[in-house]
Amino acid sequence: MPTAGWWEALWPDPAGVLAAVGIKPGMEVIDLCSGDGWFTLQIAKIARDVIAIDIDFNMLEVARDRLNESSVANCDFVAGDAYELAKLVAGPADFVFMANAFHGVPDRARLARAVRAALKPGGHFATVNWHQRPREETIALGEPRGPKTELRLSPQRTIEAVESSGLKLAHLVEVQPYHYGTVFRQPPA
Ligand SMILES: C[S@@+](CC[C@H](N)C(=O)[O-])C[C@H]1O[C@@H](n2cnc3c(N)ncnc32)[C@H](O)[C@@H]1O
């Protein structure tokens, strides 16, 4: 998880990112690999309910404190492995959101299958990924930031991995200055 300061500088409008990928009022949303809750808080302000899932219990506690400070109570915090998503939630969701984590998944096709199993018919899965640009070019607060250059994924590699699960690309969005979003749809039943 990035250190505080530059993360906030890089994401001054997290709610705008969520709107761009299609998170809407009334949805049941899973924030997968939720980290310290920077996006979770904004999702909770839009959605009906949120489940924040992270493998790191300490990160979930930071996220819990963040939401408590804003008196936002429509979020459950679940510690667990993203591959086991279907076992971590009680039922399927309208939307699974995953920011800044898909590049680090060892078996992305497996993860995509797990996400598909946790989505309602017609539900959506969005990844927000660093563009495949050299790390020295992605500067925030004066320093190169983000994952190593060789870990970064092109939109095409992301799409291939996720579509292998049966989810279908719905749209691609630019997320300035250094990210893109891929949004996939679970076919209707
Ligand atoms: C770079 S942080 C991104 C956090 C958040 N999504 C954001 O964009 O602000 C990546 C997060 O993924 C979590 N993570 C890594 N592997 C995971 C796994 N197998 N299952 C669940 N969470 C995982 C890490 O603990 C970390 O909090």
CA distance 102 to 160: 13
Whole-number Å distance, alpha carbon 19 to ligand 1 midpoint, is 21
Q: Quick one: pLDDT at residue 189?
A: 77
Q: Quick one: pLDDT at residue 164?
A: 98
Whether ligand 1 lies within 6 angstroms of the CB of 81 is answered as yes
Whether ligand 1 lies within 6 angstroms of the CB of 107 is answered as no
Residue 148: C-alpha distances to residues 88, 104, 127, 134, 137 (Å): 30, 10, 18, 8, 11
Mean pLDDT for 153-169 is: 98
Whether ligand 1 lies within 6 angstroms of the CB of 100 is answered as yes
pLDDT value at 188 more than 90 = no
CA distance 98 to 126: 6
- E strands, the chain, are 28-32, 49-54, 75-79, 93-99, 119-130, 139-140, 143-144, 168-175, 179-185
**Confidence band, pLDDT 50/70/90 cuts, at residue 4:** low
Closest residue (by CA) to atom 2 of ligand 1?
Answer: 1
Whole-number Å distance, alpha carbon 38 to ligand 1 midpoint, is 12
65-97 residue pLDDT tens: 999 999 999 999 999 999 999 999 999 999 999
pLDDT value at 2 more than 80 = no
Whether ligand 1 lies within 6 angstroms of the CB of 20 is answered as no
Mean pLDDT for 17-38 is: 98
Whether ligand 1 lies within 6 angstroms of the CB of 59 is answered as yes
Closest residue (by CA) to atom 13 of ligand 1?
Answer: 33
pTM of the model: 0.97
User: Which residue type sits at 152?
Assistant: R
Whether ligand 1 lies within 6 angstroms of the CB of 61 is answered as no
Whether ligand 1 lies within 6 angstroms of the CB of 40 is answered as no
CA distance 183 to 168: 8
Mutate to test the pocket of ligand 1, among 18, 54, 102, 148 (most ligand atoms within 8 A of CB): 54
Closest residue (by CA) to atom 27 of ligand 1?
Answer: 35
Q: Quick one: pLDDT at residue 125?
A: 98
